[in-house]
């Protein structure tokens, strides 16, 4: 595999990150989209969808202090998103909001996947917010514009109702999570971090007429060139009154970076 220049000369990484961020945000300034960035203290009345995720994952295989540091980072980032109202024809970008978090406090070292390896980095752990937001977005009328899957799953997910393959990794300057409100009503994002959970809600003022069911199908593990991959299909059913419409959202594939249980069935792919 070809190595990146920043892997050969790590001292170039800050310069490369600065360069990427300049291009990243300049591109958004020129894309003619209007991004929602101003939180509102007013809460809209009707819940479109809400869910939560555990804050502390004890299965990371790393020092638990990184999990506590992650919670600190999540609180800073969540404050920049909480209350944001996406008006009709506006877009939401994770990084347009979260880039302001550094003004609220100093990030701590958290866990992050870099070049397929789990390491501690400044501000690590923010993907927990993007993952949960993405899960909420697919249960709403918001139009998905940009989403990226994790290339490697470094440790098992904690117990959750959310299917495998439902994630959205973010990396400033490289990968964003974006949606657009192509409806006629404003939609608000609420984020809360308490002692145990990260909670997300999507709200609107008008009565909610539509609901969505998102599920994973055909989960399997495949051995390919000595590596184990998890493959799954993500399906969504739109329900409005008596009408139901099912669609395949995407197929997700990621490499497994931890030992699977002994009795896990693994399909060996012929080379």
Q: How far is CA 216 from CA 24, 155, 178, 219, 234, in A?
A: 32, 19, 22, 7, 5
Indicate if the pLDDT at residue 92 is higher than 80.
yes
pTM, entire model:
0.90
Q: Are 82 and 190 in contact (CB under 8 A)?
A: yes
- Where do the structural domains in the chain lie, given as residue ranges? 1-32, 34-208
239/236 Cα distance (integer angstroms)? 10
Residue 147, pLDDT > 70, answer yes
Task: Find the mean pLDDT for residues 155-183.
Answer: 89
Residue 36 has pLDDT above 60, yes or no: yes
Q: What confidence score (pLDDT) does residue 116 get?
A: 58
Give the pLDDT confidence score for residue 59 in this predicted structure: 65
Give the SS3 label for residue 10: helix
Q: CB within 8 A of 42, min separation 6: which ones?
A: none
Structure tokens at 250: 């995407």
Could you report the per-residue pLDDT of 211-262, keeping only the tens digit for each? 999 999 999 999 998 999 999 999 999 999 999 999 999 999 999 988 999 8
Contact 133, 94 (CB under 8 A): yes
């Amino acid at each position: 595999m070809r190595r990146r220049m920043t892997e050969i000369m790590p001292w170039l990484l800050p310069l490369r990150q600065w360069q990427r961020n300049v291009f990243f945000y300049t591109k958004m300034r020129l894309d003619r989209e209007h991004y929602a960035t101003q939180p509102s203290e007013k809460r809209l009345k009707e819940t479109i969808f809400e869910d939560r995720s555990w804050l502390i994952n004890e299965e990371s295989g790393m020092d638990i202090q990184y999990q506590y540091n992650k919670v600190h980072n999540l609180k800073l980032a969540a404050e920049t998103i909480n209350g944001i109202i996406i008006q009709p024809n506006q877009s939401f970008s994770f990084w347009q909001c979260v880039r302001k978090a550094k003004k609220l406090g100093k990030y701590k070292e958290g866990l992050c996947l870099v070049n397929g390896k789990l390491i501690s980095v400044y501000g690590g752990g923010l993907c927990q917010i993007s993952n949960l937001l993405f899960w909420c977005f697919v249960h709403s009328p918001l139009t998905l514009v940009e989403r990226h899957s994790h290339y490697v799953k470094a440790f098992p997910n904690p117990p959750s109702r959310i299917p495998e393959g439902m994630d959205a990794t973010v990396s400033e300057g490289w990968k964003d999570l974006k949606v657009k409100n192509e409806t006629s009503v404003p939609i608000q994002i609420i984020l809360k971090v308490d002692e145990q959970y990260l909670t997300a809600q999507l709200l609107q003022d008008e009565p909610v007429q539509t609901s969505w069911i998102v599920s994973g199908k055909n989960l399997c593990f495949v051995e390919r060139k000595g590596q184990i991959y998890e493959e799954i299909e993500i399906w969504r059913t739109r329900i409005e009154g008596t009408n139901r419409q099912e669609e395949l959202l995407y197929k997700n594939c990621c490499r497994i970076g931890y030992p699977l249980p002994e009795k896990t069935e693994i399909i060996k792919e012929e080379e």
